[in-house]
A and B are shown apart, each in its own frame.
Chain A
Amino acid sequence: MKPLKPGKTFQSKINGVPQGQATLLERPKTVALVPGASPFVKLKLLVGENDTVSVGTPLLQDKRDPKVLFLSPGGGRVAAIRRGARRVVQEVVIDLADDGAHEPALSFAPISPKALKAMSRMEVVNVLKLRGIWPLIRQFPFMDIPQESNGFPMAVVSLHSGERFNPVPSLFLKDQQAAFLHGLTVLQNLADRVVVTAPRSAMAPLKALGLAEQVTHVVQDAYPAGDPGVILYQIRKSAAENASCTMDPQELIAMGHLLSTGNVQCRRIYAVSGTPTRPASHYQTRTGTPVSHLVGPLKQGKGIVTGGVFTGTITSGDAHMGMGITTATVLDGVDTDAFFGFAWPGRRLLSESRTFLSCLESGSLGMDVTLHGEERACINCGWCDKKCPVDLLPQFIMKAASTGEMEEPLALGLLDCTGCGLCTFVCPSKIDLAGILALSKQTCYRERVMP
């Protein structure tokens, strides 16, 4: 266990952190497969509306590699296929069969750790692709579904990103130790080196679960110290390690579960935070559960952010939780204005700067999903680079990128950007630096990877 050196992090304390043990929610009426995150995947639909599916039935296929499948998280009837811009499939909604005890489910042949060690890498990869796990492994620097067949130099599994709204590792690892260890064995087959990190505060509970030895690096208890990209940046020694991969710990457990038992694991621990009507806490329910089922009824003027307050998106209540997304945060979300807003002393206003009285107090503060000002030109104040966990200079990359230049941003380390969003958060000119950098990364991907 090696402590990583402290880096630049988000310092303020925030309200609405999920507390306590995981409560089991009743079975939702619908679940959905939400392929989400990767912008580069082109998906082919394998089912139509009203088809009957089982847990584990392939619903989607990656057009680039037809062997990569996305499996159904529920058994029942395909109720709707929701599409976004340019008819991209966003959700495949499944009405669960009424009786929870007889939900149809496919089962696969279990693979023991011993058998796993005997398999070649290609064999493991094929199993993962056909069993819908491959899309949950993401490869740096573009966080795409891995394309190459040669081994990953490193696999980073971060048990907690440091964001206070994420599920606590000891809760989702409880009673899942075997599946977790099985999952790690799979990664060891795929990667030359497996790195498991946990924040300092999680170490004592992990020890109680008997998993402390698996943790290779201990990180700070602050966001984004536990972001896999930040960890890679801190421990990599050579450029070759840039092609490492990462996986969400709960998906790693699901992978271990599927391979060891042959059944798809449909349970997830979600963290509900902010100001929901039910207590901000951890809830156990189905994968791809409706957001409203998770957060409970929503009051007027609230918005839901799923996938972390710094990296997630505003989601409507009738949407479903995406693959690999384990947080839902309810925050105030209406357009407002503040009378003489620039002159308030700000005892209760959240800010990473030292321009509000709140910086003198240690109490926790509320967040909301509004801009708190207007967008302006960059004044080169450099507050963004004071927060960048991977030591980029976002303002210079942003300026170079906005001229359509690609070599300069790359030389300045554009591809190290983990999209943690802190640069955008602190920008007094309200420039969407993280968005511009992400767009620039996508452009780079299109120029290079997609011919």
Chain B
Amino acid sequence: MNPLRKVFEKTDPYFKPPGQLSRFKGIYTATRTFFFLPSKVTGMAPHVRDHIDLKRFMSFVILALLPVTLFGMFNVGYQYHNGAAGVFEMFYTGARHVLPIIVVSYGVGFFWEILFATLRGHEVTEGFLVTGLLLPLTLPPTIPLWQVALGISFGVVMGKEVFGGTGRNLLNPALTARAFLFFSYPVSMSGNGVWRLPSPTVDAVGGATALSVGGTGGRIQEMVVDAGFSLERLFFGLHPGSIGETSAFLCFLGALFLMVTRVASFRIIIGGIVGVVVTAWGFLYLPGPTDTWFSAGPLFHLFSGGFALGISFMATDPVSAPGTDSGRWIYGFLIGFFTVLLRAVNPAYVEGVMLSILFMNIFAPLIDHISLKITAGRRIPNV
């Protein structure tokens, strides 16, 4: 017999309702079911059920995020050493700075999850496993840990729990957390100095992101390349930025994995990419400044900033996205559209992904409402 099962069987009585520790049932059950996925006999038809459950569903998102996270750690180290160190040393440096952020995010977030689960008497839900990892990936590596704790607290409590918990939240909790930090602590979340760790070998100015380039005359595409952001570099991700956003390649690889396994809606992801391409291409033909992101063209828009991370992992959060297929196309497309629009016409705030996703989160119910009306109208009535 599994020795762990023996331990659980001994401790079970303490956490069942008359037991002394029954108030901690939430966290106990969460731990127990993490190790032993329960499978009880079904009570109602259909008595046979699929093997998929929410734990596996969410683990697939985590699995898709792992390469992004590991590369993020490596890249933080790479930026610190400016590439002039061994692979392991760079990874180690990055991990030393990134892991504490992830640990704080998970630790503080789980505290709130468990608190609400205990107070409300429901199970601890798996959705937070994704939220707790997504937030660190959207943050700069220099973020103070107390701000991470504050951010994830706001994201979990105000972004999710006040609405009733997982499945009822209007906004993506990770992005709510990031938006809170962005507007409350702009010094830690923007500018040119925060995107790489302070390093003795590299000057602070070198820590700018591709999106901050522009506005100084000339052609934007050349300026971005001159600043060291060639398309390949933007695509593969060895440049400063938020921990998880730099490698468009790995983000899209994760997106592909989620689309193939159908965990994420391909309609949102493809819709978003089409939205960026069409809008960026449209702006190329509109009269406007050639030295800002207005004229950057589709590829630079796709591979720079947080678009790849956002469309792959944030926009595809099914809870805050529309539930109808046509709605998902529209939602995805408009995220792409607003991302480029914000970058193009608002040089003061070039990183538009976060806000466009949050903005479309708010519109998701309306999109669903309209699309449901149309769907219902097409049916032969049966009332």
Complex Cα gap A340–B33 (Å): 8
* Chain A: minimal CB distance from B241 (Å): 29
Tell whether, in the assembled complex, residue B383 and residue A425 are in contact, meaning their CB atoms are under 8 Å apart.
no
* Chain A: minimal CB distance from B220 (Å): 39
> Residue on B with the closest CB to A352?
B50
A-side interface residues toward B, CB under 8 Å? Answer: 141, 236-239, 242, 303, 305, 309-314, 331, 333-343, 346, 349-356, 367-374, 376-383, 385, 391, 393, 395-396, 410-413, 415-416, 421-422, 424-430, 432, 434-435
* Chain B: minimal CB distance from A210 (Å): 35
Tell whether, in the assembled complex, residue A435 and residue B50 are in contact, meaning their CB atoms are under 8 Å apart.
no
Q: Which of A311, A335, A416 contacts B45 (CB 8 A)?
A: A311
Query: Residues of A contacting B375 with CB < 8 Å?
Result: 393, 412
The A contact surface, by secondary structure, is loop
* Chain B: minimal CB distance from A24 (Å): 29
Tell whether, in the assembled complex, residue A342 and residue B382 are in contact, meaning their CB atoms are under 8 Å apart.
no
Tell whether, in the assembled complex, residue A336 and residue B46 are in contact, meaning their CB atoms are under 8 Å apart.
no
Tell whether, in the assembled complex, residue B383 and residue A411 are in contact, meaning their CB atoms are under 8 Å apart.
yes
Besides the contacts A314-B41, A339-B5, what 16 more A-B pairs have beta carbons closer than 8 Å?
A237-B380, A310-B48, A311-B45, A351-B52, A352-B52, A353-B50, A354-B262, A372-B37, A373-B37, A376-B167, A379-B318, A380-B321, A391-B379, A393-B324, A411-B376, A413-B376
Q: Which of A238, A376, A421, A435 contacts B54 (CB 8 A)?
A: A376
Interface residue? B56 (CB, 8 A): yes
Tell whether, in the assembled complex, residue B265 and residue A382 are in contact, meaning their CB atoms are under 8 Å apart.
yes
> Residue on A with the closest CB to B378?
A391
Q: Which of B4, B36, B49, B262 contacts A338 (CB 8 A)?
A: B36
Query: Residues of B contacting A428 with CB < 8 Å?
Result: 50, 52-54, 56-57
Tell whether, in the assembled complex, residue A309 and residue B263 are in contact, meaning their CB atoms are under 8 Å apart.
no
Complex Cα gap A311–B54 (Å): 24
Q: Which of A239, A341, A343, A385 contacts B381 (CB 8 A)?
A: A239
* Chain B: minimal CB distance from A167 (Å): 19
Complex Cα gap A415–B168 (Å): 26
Tell whether, in the assembled complex, residue A396 and residue B40 are in contact, meaning their CB atoms are under 8 Å apart.
no
Tell whether, in the assembled complex, residue B53 and residue A309 are in contact, meaning their CB atoms are under 8 Å apart.
no
Mask: chain B, 2-14; 1 = CB below 8 Å from A; 0 = not: 1011000000000
B-side interface residues toward A, CB under 8 Å? Answer: 2, 4-5, 33, 35-42, 44-57, 59-60, 123, 125-127, 165-168, 260-263, 265, 318-319, 321, 323-325, 368, 372, 375-376, 379-383
Tell whether, in the assembled complex, residue A426 and residue B53 are in contact, meaning their CB atoms are under 8 Å apart.
no
Query: Residues of A contacting B40 with CB < 8 Å?
Result: 335, 370-371
Query: Residues of B contacting A411 with CB < 8 Å?
Result: 376, 383
Tell whether, in the assembled complex, residue A337 and residue B52 are in contact, meaning their CB atoms are under 8 Å apart.
no
Tell whether, in the assembled complex, residue B380 and residue A356 are in contact, meaning their CB atoms are under 8 Å apart.
no
Listed from nearest, the 7 A-B pairs whose CB atoms lie closest are A373-B53, A341-B37, A377-B167, A421-B46, A342-B55, A337-B36, A370-B39
Q: Which of A238, A355, A393, A416 contacts B261 (CB 8 A)?
A: A355
Tell whether, in the assembled complex, residue B45 and residue A434 are in contact, meaning their CB atoms are under 8 Å apart.
yes
Complex Cα gap A237–B127 (Å): 43
Q: A377-B168, A413-B382 are in contact. Are A343 and B59 (CB under 8 A)?
A: yes
Tell whether, in the assembled complex, residue A342 and residue B53 are in contact, meaning their CB atoms are under 8 Å apart.
yes
25 contacts across the A-B interface (CB closer than 8 A) = A236-B380, A238-B380, A305-B48, A312-B47, A314-B41, A340-B35, A351-B50, A352-B52, A354-B261, A367-B48, A368-B48, A370-B42, A371-B38, A374-B53, A374-B54, A374-B123, A376-B123, A377-B165, A379-B167, A413-B379, A416-B382, A426-B52, A428-B54, A430-B53, A434-B46
